[in-house]
Structure 1
């Protein structure tokens, strides 16, 4: 069963995407050179941008007919830019959930998300004392705490070293598999996709986009 599919998708009459299908519960990696439309595709999927042609279907429903805010709760875009509020890690969990009008997780759940994101801090840790990589891990943990159906990660390990990135992806994939969540990842880290992808989509070129998909097996 596919959670998201596309048909004849075009953006601004310039970027032509192949038809894409994301199997429910899978982890798919999206790769391609700069300018080929990877981040644009994410924004099309959550309704931030509109296609000039074609359709996107979420669980069989054309997203053009869906409420945009409801769609974005189900299809979560995690941007490259890491943003945290002043205060503690706990404060940040609560603030992010307050903006979404959702209930923040309790401390036990916060610690679970921090563990998945390979973040060795208590919830009382002040974020202003964290390095760039540590901030990204905290941000990733908070994003995991949203109950989305499809998580779209745009370079979630850009500020992480390879061992930490592998730990994060290993724990995240196990967590997503347990809950039946679907994951779509943009990553240029060649250490990650051979280990963790269920499907690989490669976009080539800027104005004429092609696709290669494959299941990876050890």
Structure 2
């Protein structure tokens, strides 16, 4: 699905090649500053490399319409946006961006069930805890039914037990639909349990250490 060759991005990333396979769960791990978030942004076409090529299904990402690309390759940032209004308003926000039909409430509730968020659709989103907001954003991403999900620390605000439940449930749903998932985590436990492919950035990255503070 993704093929990256001869990548250079500032002093953050420098590597010869990386392939991310379609339909697999690839988990990125590495110390702070190793370029995990930067790599997700390259895949999402939020940034472009200074050198090298990022291919998505054989096409150079630089040549793709960024908006259309981000409908196919959805990124959930570590501090996801929560919009004013209700839980339902937040769930359908991503669908509006993707110009997709809003499903019946039952499907929205099923997405909440997948991420273990037991809140009525009419609940005010602003009153949710940090962990609940993170799960709400994850449910929103799931509903977008993208080809690939890029998840940056999607369980960072959750305790270990809840994180296991949520990540396991989300990935099971994604795998049933043959989706591609690229996930950043600092949790060795999550990486060990849920990765089809583990990508340790320090093993491929040739950048000089100590020059960047971006994850």
TM-score, structure 1 normalization:
0.88
Instruction: Identify the residue that residue 134 of structure 2 maps to in structure 1.
Output: 136
* Structure 1 residues 94 and 14: alpha-carbon distance in aligned structure 2, compared to 1, 3 A threshold: closer
| Whole-Å separation in 2 of the counterparts to 1:14 and 1:125 | 41
| Whole-Å separation in 2 of the counterparts to 1:83 and 1:13 | 28
Q: CA deviation at 1:48?
A: 1.1
* Structure 1 residues 209 and 175: alpha-carbon distance in aligned structure 2, compared to 1, 3 A threshold: farther
Q: CA deviation at 1:58?
A: 0.7
Instruction: Identify the residue that residue 97 of structure 1 maps to in structure 2.
Output: 95
Q: Is the aligned partner of 1:148 residue 2:157? A: no
CA deviation vs aligned residue, 1:119-165 (integer Å, no higher than 9, x gap): 11121222122111111111111111112111000000010111111
TM-score, structure 2 normalization:
0.90
Instruction: Identify the residue that residue 212 of structure 2 maps to in structure 1.
Output: none
Cα root mean square deviation, aligned: 2.0
Among 17, 36, 39, the residue aligned to 2:37: 39
CA deviation vs aligned residue, 1:84-105 (integer Å, no higher than 9, x gap): 1222111222334334433223
| Whole-Å separation in 2 of the counterparts to 1:164 and 1:50 | 35
The higher-RCO structure (CA 8 Å, 6+ apart) is 2
Instruction: Identify the residue that residue 53 of structure 1 maps to in structure 2.
Output: 51
Q: Is the aligned partner of 1:168 residue 2:166? A: yes
Q: Is the aligned partner of 1:67 residue 2:55? A: no
| Whole-Å separation in 2 of the counterparts to 1:209 and 1:119 | 40
Q: CA deviation at 1:207?
A: 7.1
| Whole-Å separation in 2 of the counterparts to 1:201 and 1:7 | 15
* Structure 1 residues 125 and 60: alpha-carbon distance in aligned structure 2, compared to 1, 3 A threshold: same
| Whole-Å separation in 2 of the counterparts to 1:171 and 1:14 | 33
| Whole-Å separation in 2 of the counterparts to 1:31 and 1:64 | 26
Unpaired stretches in structure 2, ≥5 consecutive residues: 209-215
Q: CA deviation at 1:12?
A: 2.6
Q: Greater share of helix residues, 1 or 2? A: 2
Q: CA deviation at 1:14?
A: 5.6
Instruction: Identify the residue that residue 23 of structure 1 maps to in structure 2.
Output: 21
| Whole-Å separation in 1 of the counterparts to 2:121 and 2:128 | 13
Which 4+ residue blocks in structure 1 deviate beyond 6 angstroms? none
CA contact (8 A) 1:117 1:137 kept: yes
